[in-house]
Structure 1
């Protein structure tokens, strides 16, 4: 046995065996065996070292491959410059930010790769300072200058020394493209400013015009604002704005061309669905489809939109209108990101529009209230004054011992009674409005023959009908029974009959009662001047009074109270009228 020894390390043993009887190793053979063992020890050691070296190389290659993959996949630009401040390594992101290939970086200085950046920020001096001081320089805000086909890019840069065993080998660089971050910051800043601008006025038109201008400044070459009309059946183009002032003639034409309500119109689909609409690229065929008429098509072609977005203006779960933006730039196509930004801006605009609308409504309500108070004061004072004069006159006659004649006393009492009835009617209207507004209107229901109610009412009004020169024509022969509040139904009919005598003196008044299915229908027709279609929509509203000589003869509450009483019964009060041909009021009441 010959040991395998290298230095002080025992590597193994060589076994030499003789099978010849009586044969023994000679001294020379033993020396040969020891020499062989020594050389084998060297070979074994070299093989071991080779295996270890191969493993270390494989581990190094794996580490380099992982590092290379990490740098390539990093969303941050990363690079390394040697002691001479020449690029040794650049990952793809940094190459893209700098607008040069990786090969165009390697072996070159920053000045050679980006001379514009070096001249503006003196990067090499900063890198040399980091390498000499050994201290990092973190989060510096810079801008990579614009180059052909590459816009300028805001970046955040950090420099740090790279050391091994205390020796500085160069400088590492990380560069983060902050374009998206700056865009978001700018968008939020703009939205904050826009909110302030949109809220600066409570005038509806001023708010809409401000909305159009704000959107045009940020997103659009053109911006159009269409608002739903009060009846909800059409759109009104309330505001337009252009980024470039030279386009105003086309906008003035577009202002006059609010789209008609027709199926398939993108504008009306957005209004109806409450969902936004994005068209990244507009074609000529799409313009033909969107145009409502030849003149509209001509204006659209002159505007030359390339990309379009439409978003609804929604506030308090109501779609108030539609905001439309158009881009004229061939290179600019709106994206989902632009649509999201416009929706955020439209939400703020809708709140401002809703606030302006509510303010206008409140202003009109205050104006109507003030007018009503003035009218109510006048109307209440009139019967009170007449009643007071009658009483004062009678009191003076009695005090003077000059008793009025029976005929004079009767006239005074009749006059006082009329003024009292007028005063009572006005007060009752006010009380009814209060009960309706607070939900405290109560009905005392009973089985009533409506035909009898109408006949008795006409009998009570005989004298007043005669004074007005009106003849009542009653079609209420068949009994029509319903469960109603008799006094409240009489109140409605008295109001309708009084209006007929007031607005159509000297003309017949027709009253009818009929059964239609499960309803009783009571009609009051006059042959007066009639009511215009526009006024018919408002005639049942509070404080709505006639124009002309009757404008100061009522509180504008009679028909409002009458309709509310009809609805409290589960019925309805409506009107049909043609100007110049009189009016027909229909009171529908359930029979049960």
Structure 2
């Protein structure tokens, strides 16, 4: 009987026989007869976990139950697999004498192993008989091969379907990929390992699975099957090239043998890349021992399909993780931004009031960072730190913290805060208690607080403005009560708060310094004005007496002119002193109006009359246009002062050209006073500032003055509820318009 006939007969008997071990005897008898073997045996693990055997011809040697012995010369060994590719047992064949089997004989032995797998699967499942194929109930060799290929294709599809199901489940990707590796073991390979590239590009072992885990050697799972001794690592090459590697004839331990067994030739290694979006993410390695069929091109294709699914899963998981991390970072950034914007708003509301700014910083930082906040600034001498704001939500803790910090004034470089100022770098102490602080000696300002409230987390950052460290902002959080210690995110937030606090404090301190300087200046001017007023008044009186004497007696013309010039100079000096005194009154809020009913037109005529000589000396002719009567309630002396300033400026800057003065009734119960010259004019950029203190549009020394006249005039007009404006251009003169309400 030919080999084909024996196989067909065995298949027919298998199809018609009941589900029992008799089917296995039919297969091993057929294999022994077809290949001329002395003995063929099948060994498998039963449902009870015990080793079962079936051999032909004759009984199986007892020694086979404990392992193949040297005296029983096994020449052929092949794994027995089920329809889905899972390893069910082993088929062993022995010749009468050692001999080399041809490739055809090995292929036929593999076909009998497939028959044994079908039979063993039916034994395990207790399957009902199946009808034989073909009209005669027998299969020829081609039909048997076609059926085997169809079953293999179906098993591959089921494997891919199972892989897809596992990878799409609601589990972490590491667990899903490990499950896929476990699924591949038995159904596709004896060993399976998955390695992935971490964020630094280094290969990390995710999982390794073995068909018989209890029989794995104690060494690394794939150490024996990575052919590094004979050629470059296949795994490294696959990672580098992104192309699969299939290596056969390797020296690997037989996974079916106890403790791995000795190395023998015939194992195969299949390494496929895990690729997604044209990027290699890692590799999957599959190993079959010598007792299993070597990997084929079809296996390589199947492994590639599995790897594609695994690669997409890893990539999607990474993208999801990155998206979640980005979302979390965006939320953290938005939260920080909201806090910073809120602090900016509160600091803006505090303005340049330094105590208010310090209070806002201490309270808001304490609220956001929890629990306590300590704000210290370098003193004017620059050698010490001064606590300027301390806050804690617990009044008792605030009292203790404030007392201990104030009691231990620190030099720059000493203690926690002093060291931060000296080095200009933040300091984070995640968890510090009294014992640690006492041992280090570097936290004297916090020691009583730590002794009272237990372990704390401390974070101190420098306050920097214009590249100069001028203080510290520190926070303290109770970790003894279970709160999280400060970390990197807290450091980022506190540095952002410190930047805003530093700018606000620097601006407020600068404003305080400027305000103090202005106050000192105004005090000096006020004192100087009063000190000058008395001797100047006496001087003017003496000059006036000399003037009368020169007119009463026959004096030389030269003496009379000198006395007249001295009188004019004293008047001008008196006007300057009066301006200084008025500046002091206005700054201190002591400018008072004495309102009375008066005629502005007549007041203007009188003022022009008094200024005729001054205007005449400048060569300017005055043309007055005024209604007969413009009556209202104003301060006569102060409006005379305004008119004097405007006419004086017209004479000074008018270049000897005519000056026009108009007094007229305006709309809505207002009156208008206009003084227009044809002098040098004022540039638009200078027009806003000429109404400020000590500001002048012209710095030429030929034009004298303190730069107070227009500022005083504006303050007087504002006090009356009116306004003053200028319209001018260089070389086209200037027009000053005063609007005054009647009341």
TM-score by length of 2: 0.33
Who wins on radius of gyration, i.e. which is larger? 2
RCO comparison, higher one (Cα < 8 Å, 6+): 1
Give the TM-score normalised by structure 1. 0.41
